[in-house]
Amino acid sequence: MLYMIFKAGLVLIGTIAILIASIGIYNTMTMAVTERAPDPISAL
């Protein structure tokens, strides 16, 4: 019984960690794209 609770806790922590990491990766990628792309206002 205790093992199942421990396992569920680890799965929960792992899921949250992956979620946070994916948000961080997404943020980094979007920032890299927006910094590389020219500004729409100055391009006109």
pLDDT at 7: 97
- At residue 32, the pLDDT reads 86
Q: Distance between CA 11 and CA 24 in Å, rounded? A: 20
Q: What is the residue-level pLDDT of the chain in tens, covering all 44 positions?
A: 999 999 999 999 999 999 999 999 999 999 888 887 666 676 56
Res 33: pLDDT: 85
pTM of the complete model = 0.61
- Dihedral-angle region of residue 30 (phi above 0 means left; psi in -120 to 50 means alpha; beta otherwise): alpha
